[in-house]
Amino acid sequence: MSVNLQTPIDYLKGVGPNRADLLKKELGIHTYQDLINLFPNRYLDRTQYYKIHQLQRNNAEVQIVGEIISIKEIAQKRGKRLVATFKDDSGTMELVWFRGQKWIRENLKLKKPYVIFGKVNWFNGVFSMPHPDMELQEDHKKNLGSAMQPIYPSTEKLSNMGITNRVINKIMQQLFLDTKGRFTESLSENILSELKLLSKSEAIFNIHFPKNQELLARAQFRLKFEELFYIQLQLILKNLIHKSKIKGLPFTQVGTYFNTFYKHHLPFELTNAQKRVLKEIRQDLGSNAQMNRLLQGDVGSGKTIVAFMSMLMALDNGYQACLMAPTEILSVQHYNGLKELSNELNIRIELLTGSSKTLKRRKIHEALENGELDILIGTHALLEDKVKFKNLGLAIIDEQHRFGVEQRSKLWRKGPSQIDQNEVNTPPTPPHILVMTATPIPRTLAMSVYGDLDISVIDELPPGRQAIKTVHRYDKNRLKVFRFIRDEIEKGRQIYIVYPLIQESEKMDYKDLMDGYESVARDFPLPKYQISIVHGKMKPADKEFEMQRFIKGETQIMVATTVIEVGVNVPNASVMIIESAERFGLSQLHQLRGRVGRGAEQSYCILMTSHKLSSDSKKRIETMCRTNDGFEIAEVDLNLRGPGDIMGTQQSGVLNLKIADIIKDKDILQSARYYAKKVLQSDPALRAEENKTILYTYQQLTKYKNIWNYIS
């Protein structure tokens, strides 16, 4: 193909330097390739022609063939309007212009066949079309792909500067003339024939100038498949390279620590899901490659015990382990939990956070370096340069979406350095990595974003746990809700009342929290009732004091902002009241609900809202009341919010897709992943003749656009 698609857009006829600048700034179009990948948002179906007598009073956009038989000007309050009578063989209607009359009047031709297109109005017994799109029928027939008209993404600035949809359409047509509509094929013959896909050139032509609905649908399918296929190919390749290149520390045995704990100190029978996940982790650790596994499990599914038993495997092989959590509260809770589990095992566990005292830190640093310390738990403090392990074999990261890539890679470099025969220090061998999350990630997102990690899921709750009952109540039912709280406190239970805290409206939220606290204090007076309050403006020590009072059962009610979203474990708390629940996202509501239901008693979650609810809020509340299944909730959340929001900003660039949508196109995504796996299983280096096109396209993609480099 003679035209290079990396040619700057400035060189395309009809663009020029000024337009090129605007296209770069507004739409990110720098090259011919970028322009080709500017896919239309929607299409006007111009395959249908209506007769005037078929028109309906529905404001629809229609296309009619006819001719102008007369033109007149009509005075109105301000200025005048131009009205033309337009007729076909079934009747007449009016065409109306409120501006640009002089130019229009000079250019309209009477008694010549025109194709008009626009919105139809019904007024005073006559159909009329204001400011129609018009072209002479002979020009209409000559136009490239006049059947369905593409409407391209645009911005206000582009429209103001005269780069209208028609202009973009024109330069797109020019690009097709320059390239003769020939584009290099990017998928293999096998895939094209198995899936009966259009060729690349046909697909590109029919996405911009579709002849009909069926060809448009086939073009969209082909291009969505291709985009998702290359993303999956990159992720799976990354995983394969990771496994072959990055040697892991070989954990050859399951020894005394693991077996003693499993046989004598396991506090409860493991669920089948926990056993399955442990088996997957054991295989990874013994495989000579570095483990890179994501462990998903809903709130309360027992991820901590799996993490602990994985750590015991590291200790059995003479290595240390660490666990990093995003908040102090959560790391303290992990520390207490693991300390309790390891009571009988003669293991040394320490906690390191931002508020650890200097002397304590020094002791921890020493014990780590000389190998006396087996397990270290902490926050970002673990990443400091001073923290050096003697031989770190396993690093566990909890709620990893709260850590950036940089932070995770720091942990990697804390693995043991190997000394070879020539006494030369080689780079450290990275520890095995286990990433845990209680935020269920929908399958579609997991496949796209964590496609290079192996994924384990704990999908059953420990026996004896009762499902939490969730109900929706309006503010006017508050007295009934307070009565219910009193009854629960009489039974010896504890209550959370949570208020939203959203950065933009912090002052208002703080006021709501304080007003709420006062009204709760009025209804639950001292000395009979004790109330804790926790919010972001408090000093860490005061927060910790109030938390401890609640944990010890000295207070019955905890009024808080969302600081308790993760990591507070009070089995005796059985009621979670979420105020202004409509202001929370679904995953947040689900996380908050997971703070109750940790004991054997029936627990409740009460969602309080005002009467005014948007349709999204209604859907969220309805979903929460209907199901406790975190994965189902995550799917609904993904549909409501879109992938960027769910991944958090630092990772939202990941799915900057041109045409596919991982929510609506999840079937195509699964098919793309299946074919990417199939190709790589039989030909991991893409050396086979039949995969030449795939290898070439993949190299081009990574050369001009590293799809996503952020996954550690």
CATH of the domain at 122: 2.40.50.140
The confidence band for 709, taking pLDDT boundaries of 50, 70 and 90, is: very low
Across 521-532, average pLDDT: 93
Look at residue 597 and tell me if it is in a domain: yes
Say whether both 582 and 481 belong to one domain: yes
pLDDT surpassing 50 at residue 712 = no
Euclidean distance between CA atoms 634 and 440, whole angstroms: 6
Average pLDDT, the chain: 87
Sign of torsion over alpha carbons 18, 21, 26, 31: positive
In a domain, 699, yes or no: no
In a domain, 129, yes or no: yes
At residue 38 the predicted structure's pLDDT band, cuts being 50, 70 and 90, is very high
The pLDDT tens digits for 263-318 are 999 988 999 999 999 999 999 999 888 898 989 887 778 899 999 999 999 999 99
Number of domains in the chain: 4
Residue 300: left (phi > 0), alpha (psi -120 to 50), or beta?
A: left
- In whole angstroms, how far apart are CA 137 and each of 133, 141, 146, 260, 627? 12, 6, 11, 87, 58
Say how many C-beta atoms besides its own lie within 10 A of residue 392's C-beta: 28
In this predicted model, what pLDDT tens digit does every residue of 379-433 receive, in sequence order? 999 999 999 999 999 999 987 666 666 776 787 788 876 544 444 556 678 899 9
- Residues 308, 440 within the same domain: yes
Q: Does one domain contain both 545 and 597? A: yes
Asked if residue 191 belongs to a domain, the reply is: no
pLDDT band at 58 (very low <50, low <70, confident <90, very high): confident
Nearest to 335 by CA among 359, 358, 364: 364
Of the three residues 627, 642, 666, the one that is the final residue of a domain is 627
Contacts of 236 (CB under 8 A, 6+ apart): 451, 452, 673, 676, 677, 680
Give tens-digit pLDDT for 571-589. Answer: 899 999 999 999 988 888 9
Rounded Cα distance between 308 and 302, Å, is 10
The whole domain housing 609 covers 469-627
**Among candidate residues 708, 517, 503, 488, the one with its CA nearest the CA of residue 606:** 488
Q: Is 592 found in the same domain as 569?
A: yes
Single out the residue of 297, 343, 347, 353 nearest to residue 323, CA to CA: 353
Using the predicted structure, report yes or no on whether residue 227 has a pLDDT greater than 60.
yes
Q: Which of 46-50, 231-235, 611-615 has the lowest mean pLDDT?
A: 46-50
In a domain, 683, yes or no: no
The pLDDT value recorded for residue 208 is: 94
Q: Are residues 420 and 525 in the same domain?
A: no
pLDDT greater at residue 641 or residue 313: 313
Tokens in use for 706? 């590293």
- Which residue among 392, 423, 458 closes a domain? 458
Same structural domain, 608 and 622: yes
Q: What is the sign of the dihedral through the CA atoms of 621, 622, 626 and 628?
A: negative
Residue with tokens 């395309």: 12
Select from 102, 121, 146 the last residue of a domain.
Answer: 146
pLDDT at 561 over 60: yes
Beta strands in 459-570 (DSSP E): 469-474, 494-498, 531-534, 557-560
State residue 701's pLDDT score: 84
Residues 289 and 394 in one domain: yes
> Looking at the structure, do residues 316 and 281 belong to the same domain, yes or no?
yes
Coil/strand/helix, residue 605: strand
* 394 and 334 assigned to the same domain: yes
Confidence of residue 534 (pLDDT cuts 50, 70, 90): confident
Residue 518 lies in a domain: yes
Question: From CA 305, how far away is CA 308, in angstroms rounded?
Answer: 5
Same domain? For 305 and 442 the reply is yes
Q: 43 and 60: one domain?
A: no
Q: CA 210, 211, 214, 215: dihedral to nearest 10 degrees?
A: -60
Residue 673 in any domain: the answer is no
* pTM score: 0.68
62 with 37, same domain: the answer is no
The CATH number assigned to the domain holding 547 equals: 3.40.50.300
